[in-house]
Amino acid sequence: MTGRGISFAIPAVLALAWAAAEAGLLASLADTEANPAPAPITYVFDASSTDVRFFYRTPLSKGHGRFSGVTGTAIIDDSRPEATFVEASVPTASLQADSRLAMRALRGPHFFSITHHPHINFRGTNLRVTGQTTAQMSGQITVRGITRSVLLDVHLAEPKPSGARTLRASTHIHRSDFEMTAYPKLIGEAVEIEITARLLPR
């Protein structure tokens, strides 16, 4: 091919390449419009099917308690799970324990002090996916008016036909971080927390 033939061919090749790229871009835009990413869904906690259980060590056994009546919302974007947001409130007056003695102590001023601190609050704002249905969520928990950072291991089930989802989470805290330091020889420092929540689309 002569130099003149090459000079005519180059613009033609560039034009074809540009046309192909433009066609691909238009096809991509059309596909995006036809199949838009799902919008975030706002869920509310089903208070009748959500509870928070906690466990602590004693010299002879493992004590446990439970909170119920949890309220709050969760905004979940399955296309951008890292944008998930959770806010929940736990009424401390709902506390139940494995014995009357333990329940009286846990509700009293040395521990949850339910008269002066009627709610435990959680706000989760950062989710890191670790598996198909598992993740870690970092956030802040407020107990007795004291706020601390916390990291939860989370399992979020796929939506049921009704749209409801089950969320399970676990973490642990140190009770002294929330000025619950009474009876150090009888009650362990670490407290394990397990959460089971039913989320209903709003």
**Within this chain, do residues 145 and 169 fall inside the same structural domain, yes or no?**
yes
> Does the pLDDT value for residue 15 go beyond 70?
no
DSSP 147: E
Strand partners, 192: 55, 172
Residues 178 and 130 in one domain: yes
- Residue 20 pLDDT > 60: no
Range of the domain at 139: 41-201
pLDDT tens digits, 70-108: 999 999 998 898 899 999 999 999 999 999 999 999 999
pLDDT value at position 38?
Answer: 73
Res. 13 pLDDT band, cuts 50 70 90: very low
The yes-or-no verdict on residue 53 having pLDDT over 80 is yes
d(CA 10, CA 4): 10
3 plus 49 within the same structural domain: no
Q: Are 13 and 56 within one domain?
A: no
Residues 106 and 14 in one domain: no
The three-state secondary structure class of 115 is coil
Q: Which of 102, 76, 99, 42 is nearest to 154 (CA)?
A: 76
Burial of 53 (0-12, 13-18, 19+ CB in 10 A): middle
For residue 164, what are the CA distances in angstroms to 82, 155, 174? 20, 14, 33
More confident site: 125 or 140? 140
- Do 162 and 62 belong to one domain? yes
CATH at residue 133: 2.40.128.110
- Output the pLDDT for position 9: 54
Task: Identify the pLDDT of residue 167.
Answer: 97
Q: What is the number of structural domains in the chain?
A: 2
The residues with which 41 forms a beta bridge, in sequence order, are 76
Do residue 100 and residue 18 come from a single domain? no
Shared-domain flag, residues 71 and 125: yes
Q: Do both 78 and 27 map to the same domain?
A: no
Looking at the fold, whether 61 and 154 belong to one and the same domain comes out as: yes
Shared domain for 94 and 156, answered yes or no, is yes
In the predicted model, is pLDDT for residue 109 greater than 60? yes
Q: Are residues 126 and 180 in the same domain?
A: yes
